[in-house]
Amino acid sequence: MRNRVRRFRGPFHKPRPVDYANASAEVRAVFDDIKATRKLADVNNFWKYLAADPALLKRTWETQKAVLAPGALDRLVKELIYLAVSVTNGCSYGIACHTALARKAGMTDAMFAELMAVVGMANQTNRFADGFRLPIDDAFNE
Amino acid sequence: MRNRVRRFRGPFHKPRPVDYANASAEVRAVFDDIKATRKLADVNNFWKYLAADPALLKRTWETQKAVLAPGALDRLVKELIYLAVSVTNGCSYGIACHTALARKAGMTDAMFAELMAVVGMANQTNRFADGFRLPIDDAFNE
Amino acid sequence: MRNRVRRFRGPFHKPRPVDYANASAEVRAVFDDIKATRKLADVNNFWKYLAADPALLKRTWETQKAVLAPGALDRLVKELIYLAVSVTNGCSYGIACHTALARKAGMTDAMFAELMAVVGMANQTNRFADGFRLPIDDAFNE
Amino acid sequence: MRNRVRRFRGPFHKPRPVDYANASAEVRAVFDDIKATRKLADVNNFWKYLAADPALLKRTWETQKAVLAPGALDRLVKELIYLAVSVTNGCSYGIACHTALARKAGMTDAMFAELMAVVGMANQTNRFADGFRLPIDDAFNE
Amino acid sequence: MRNRVRRFRGPFHKPRPVDYANASAEVRAVFDDIKATRKLADVNNFWKYLAADPALLKRTWETQKAVLAPGALDRLVKELIYLAVSVTNGCSYGIACHTALARKAGMTDAMFAELMAVVGMANQTNRFADGFRLPIDDAFNE
Amino acid sequence: MRNRVRRFRGPFHKPRPVDYANASAEVRAVFDDIKATRKLADVNNFWKYLAADPALLKRTWETQKAVLAPGALDRLVKELIYLAVSVTNGCSYGIACHTALARKAGMTDAMFAELMAVVGMANQTNRFADGFRLPIDDAFNE
């Protein structure tokens, strides 16, 4: 017997991506729509991993397509908000992905620096508000 | 002897606000600048509680004035980002305060609803990214 | 002139609920489906507030109906997971709502106590893992 | 039939406290030890609610007694750390409780203000570190 | 003198693991119990790093053994909850470790996908609840 | 045409550091002050990346210098608090950096282990407090 951590046998622990070549028709239809909508030659890892569950993939893409479409807020503002949340959560994939998407939507170096300054200040003052146990002003409850 | 949790003596536990009438000249100078800059008759609770430490009050206000001034991003976009972070942190004071400030800067009902939709989706997909242990795409590392 | 924080004039800062009586046909259709699916005489506040944006309401309900339907995991287990996340996020509404829903799905007092013990321990050991800067064991990467 | 949210019938949703008068011998023994150790006439709500699960109560108290005992760090420093974590998590009960315990252990107004300043800055710079995607310096990996 | 970040001397910055061969009798006793309880040839890194403080190691293991033992909830459900918390916290070690432990306890691919869907949705709706400032329904306070 | 994710063209997605050799006079002045204050031959990555926005760099350094200066709390206690927050946020750069700075300020192995024990317990009991929906004791509101 070998003296080491016992190997676990199937199913695999680590999630694995589904590539287009190995995807079902259902998954390919979503991948095709993502590529067409975003004008990309291939989808990024986020979609390849979600494809492990085709219903989750489809639902998530449809929600994202609706939510990020320009409306009262334009795409750039939406990507800045997305990035602000990802930074607050410390999610390295979300930060990398939405920095790229915000860049694509027009975020300049100066915008990125101002975004970071606001995100940093909000995280700081949120803690002040909780730590000093602030009562909410009447004017904010109207 | 009364049978209840022993009363703590000495410094109060719960932080207390500093009102203008009882404020030092140093604190009043900051309050005056906040009121002039934001065109308000009085400062909100955030500043009254921070005033317990005049240096902290002054530093925080000067940072906030610089960070929220219009630059590459305008005031409305900065307030939307501030609100998005406050919601992600679940900070009730920050949510109430920056909903009001965002309203003042022009946030409509439709913008608020779209902001919430993006914040919700980002919090959802950040967890997918971490849970599926996504490797960052090369394209996002350029 | 009165000496107090300047009143903000419309739109209101604080989100407001939409009651059935004042709801559009689109919103009523979602409310009716929630009541029928969950066998309730009225929907809870979550849905009344989301109704401010009918598209957000509809999308959120359709996702929730799909995600909480029994599948490989039954409804009780899904509600326990929902509650564990809400506790970890410190979201008071989510805790109250999903404690009630978990109860309805069969959570006993003993299950609740064990859930809390696991949630507490996971939050504790997650910090140990990050603070001690643990490298991931090879066996966990298979 | 009344037109409102259907009342859930037992078990109760909302956790309930166990008072000394209604406590089992096992729970009373823990309560007695808390009161003796902390020199209090009654235990605070934290322990009364945990008492719903006597094993959880006992385990949590024994861990807390060991962890907060003076060692390489004294009680005041440990309470400051406890409070810093509670503020970062936005946990209102933890903030109220450990502000009181830190006061009891000697925290002055000036210490509280400096603690808040450090907590705020750390929450701010943690976001800068994640958002700017900082590589860890070699010197920090020794 | 070389022009670079000054090397720190004395106690290493980065925590280091304790291997069985170099462990004290006290640490070995805990390692032996972990290996016997979990039927493993070696303990994983979590325990090797905690062993830097034998009392912390022992306390943490005893708590984990008690908390994860089957009770009103079985081991699989407990591991799903553990994983849900780890994902919500974005703790990469916790995610890797408890994905493996959940797999060992019987988590299938379909269960993992449903877990992720619930975790994602809960993180999304928790933010909606906070952002829309929902009052808790009376029915949830019974 | 090559079949892969379309390459994004400038500006770069990934933030980049500013080295002393390429820094403006304004940035060099801040770097010089950091090196003089902390007695270092070079600044760490945190400052090199923030230097992308000289105003953000200057403001952050001035705040940090003021906040970490010994006052009612000494430098070691401040670094322990900084580290506790970084661990709670799961910020790997913050953990690495402030473990090193705490070491430099005198943190021993025993102090680190006790810090981790308190941080872990606080994260655990914060969740108990929220999950059991604890009302705050009157004594904590004085």
A-F contacts at Cβ under 8 angstroms:
40
pLDDT tier, F11 (very low <50, low <70, confident <90, very high otherwise):
low
Residues of C in contact with A12 (CB under 8 A): 142
DSSP conformation letters of chain F: ---SSPPP-SS-SS-----GGG--HHHHHHHHHHHHHHT-SS--HHHHHHTTSHHHHHHHHHHHHHHHS-SSS-HHHHHHHHHHHHHHHT-HHHHHHHHHHHHHTT--HHHHHHHHHHHHHHHHHHHHHHHTTPPPPGGGG-
pLDDT of residue E2 exceeding 80? no
pLDDT of residue E124 exceeding 50? yes
Chain D contact present for F84, CB below 8 A: yes
Cis peptide leading into A11, omega within 30 of 0? yes
Residue in the block written with tokens 């799905």? C105
pLDDT, tens digit (0-9, with 9 covering 90-100), for A15-48:
999 999 999 999 999 999 999 999 989 999 999 9
C90 φψ region: left (φ > 0), alpha (ψ -120 to 50), beta (else): left
pLDDT of residue C23 exceeding 60? yes
Residues of D in contact with F103 (CB under 8 A): none
pLDDT tier, D50 (very low <50, low <70, confident <90, very high otherwise):
very high
pLDDT at B60: 98
Residues of E in contact with F103 (CB under 8 A): 8, 10-11, 13
Which has the closest alpha carbon to F136: B6, B14, E130, D108?
B14
pLDDT of residue E10 exceeding 60? no
Taken in order A50, A53, A58, A63, the sign of the CA dihedral is: negative
Half-sphere exposure of C95 (CA within 13 A, CB side): 22
The two tokens of residue D61 are 């108290």
Q: Which residues of C110-139 are buried (b: 16+ CB within 10 A; e: fewer)?
A: ebbbbbbbbbbbbbbbbbbbbbbbbebbeb
Residues of A in contact with E104 (CB under 8 A): 8
A8: how many CB neighbours lie within 10 A of its CB? 15
C-E contacts at Cβ under 8 angstroms:
196
pLDDT of residue E65 exceeding 70? yes
Chain F contact present for D41, CB below 8 A: no
Distance in angstroms (rounded) separating the CA atoms of residues A20 and C98: 38
- The pLDDT of D92-107, averaged and rounded, is 97
Name the more confident of A84 and C5.
Answer: A84
pLDDT at F5: 45
Chain A contact present for F133, CB below 8 A: no
> A71 to chain C nearest CA, in Å?
12
State the pTM of this model.
0.94
pLDDT of residue C55 exceeding 50? yes
Distance in angstroms (rounded) separating the CA atoms of residues F79 and E128: 35
Q: What is the mean pLDDT of chain E?
A: 92
pLDDT at D83: 98
Which has the closest alpha carbon to E86: E76, E96, E72, E71?
E96
pLDDT, tens digit (0-9, with 9 covering 90-100), for F82-137:
999 999 999 999 999 999 999 999 999 999 999 999 999 999 999 999 999 999 99
Chain B contact present for E95, CB below 8 A: yes
pLDDT of residue E1 exceeding 90? no
Contact between C85 and E125 under an 8 Å Cβ cutoff? The reply is no
Contact: A129, B94; criterion CB under 8 Å? yes
Domains of chain F by start residue, with CATH: 16-69 (1.20.1290.10), 72-142 (1.20.1290.10)
C interface mutation test: which of B48, B91, B114, B116 has the most C CBs within 10 A?
Answer: B116
Chain B contact present for F55, CB below 8 A: yes
What radius of gyration do chain C's Cα atoms show? 21
Chain B contact present for E87, CB below 8 A: yes
Chain A contact present for D37, CB below 8 A: no
Which has the closest alpha carbon to E61: D79, C128, F119?
C128
Which has the closest alpha carbon to C70: C40, C106, C124, C23?
C106
Task: Name the burial class of residue E73, with classes exposed (0-12), middle (13-18) and buried (19+) by CB atoms within 10 angstroms of its CB.
Answer: buried
Q: Which of B4, B53, B60 shows the shortest C-beta gap to D41?
A: B4
C interface mutation test: which of F80, F82, F86, F87 has the most C CBs within 10 A?
Answer: F87
Contact: F71, D110; criterion CB under 8 Å? yes
**Mean pLDDT, chain B cut into blocks of 10 residues (142 residues total):** 44 86 97 95 97 97 97 98 98 97 96 98 98 96 88
pLDDT, tens digit (0-9, with 9 covering 90-100), for F17-52:
999 999 999 999 999 999 999 998 999 999 999 999
Distance in angstroms (rounded) separating the CA atoms of residues B23 and D142: 49
Q: CA D19, D23, D25 angle in degrees (round to 5)?
A: 145
What backbone phi and psi angles, to 5 degrees, belong to D46? Answer: -50, -50
pLDDT at E54: 97
- The pLDDT of C9-22, averaged and rounded, is 82
pLDDT of residue D10 exceeding 80? no
Q: Which of D2, D60, D90 shows the shortest C-beta gap to C90?
A: D90
F interface mutation test: which of E3, E5, E63 has the most F CBs within 10 A?
Answer: E5
What's the complex ipTM? 0.92
Sorted by sequence, the CB contacts under 8 Å of residue E95 that are 6+ apart come out as B130, B131, B133, E83, E86, E87
Contact between C133 and E51 under an 8 Å Cβ cutoff? The reply is no
Distance in angstroms (rounded) separating the CA atoms of residues B80 and B68: 11
User: Where do runs of H (alpha helix) occur along D6-131?
Assistant: 25-38, 45-50, 54-68, 75-89, 92-104, 109-131
pLDDT, tens digit (0-9, with 9 covering 90-100), for C81-93:
999 999 999 999 9
Residues of D in contact with E14 (CB under 8 A): 140-142
pLDDT at D13: 78
pLDDT, tens digit (0-9, with 9 covering 90-100), for C105-123:
999 999 999 999 999 999 9
Chain F contact present for D51, CB below 8 A: no
Contact: A103, F14; criterion CB under 8 Å? no
pLDDT tier, D5 (very low <50, low <70, confident <90, very high otherwise):
very low
pLDDT at B45: 98
Residues of A in contact with E40 (CB under 8 A): 5-6
Contact: B130, E87; criterion CB under 8 Å? yes
> F106 to chain A nearest CA, in Å?
26
pLDDT at F12: 65
Q: Which residues of C32-47 are buried (b: 16+ CB within 10 A; e: fewer)?
A: eebbeeeeeebbbbbb
Residue in the block written with tokens 């400062």? B43
Chain C contact present for E41, CB below 8 A: no
Sorted by sequence, the CB contacts under 8 Å of residue E31 that are 6+ apart come out as E20, E23, E43, E47, E51
Q: Which residues of E38-51 are buried (b: 16+ CB within 10 A; e: fewer)?
A: eeeebbbbbbbbbb
Q: How far lies D81's CA from each of C66, C92, D74, E95, F65, in Å?
A: 42, 24, 11, 26, 21
Residue in the block written with tokens 């909000």? A122
Helix-helix angle B109-131:E92-104, to 10 degrees = 60
Residues of E in contact with C99 (CB under 8 A): 140
- The pLDDT of D52-79, averaged and rounded, is 97
pLDDT of residue E5 exceeding 70? no
> D94 to chain F nearest CA, in Å?
6
Listed range (E1-15, E35-49, F112-126) with the worst mean pLDDT: E1-15
What share of chain D has pLDDT > 70, as a percent? 92
pLDDT at E13: 78
Residues of chain A with pLDDT under 50: 1-9
Residues of E in contact with D7 (CB under 8 A): 139, 142
> C130 to chain F nearest CA, in Å?
6
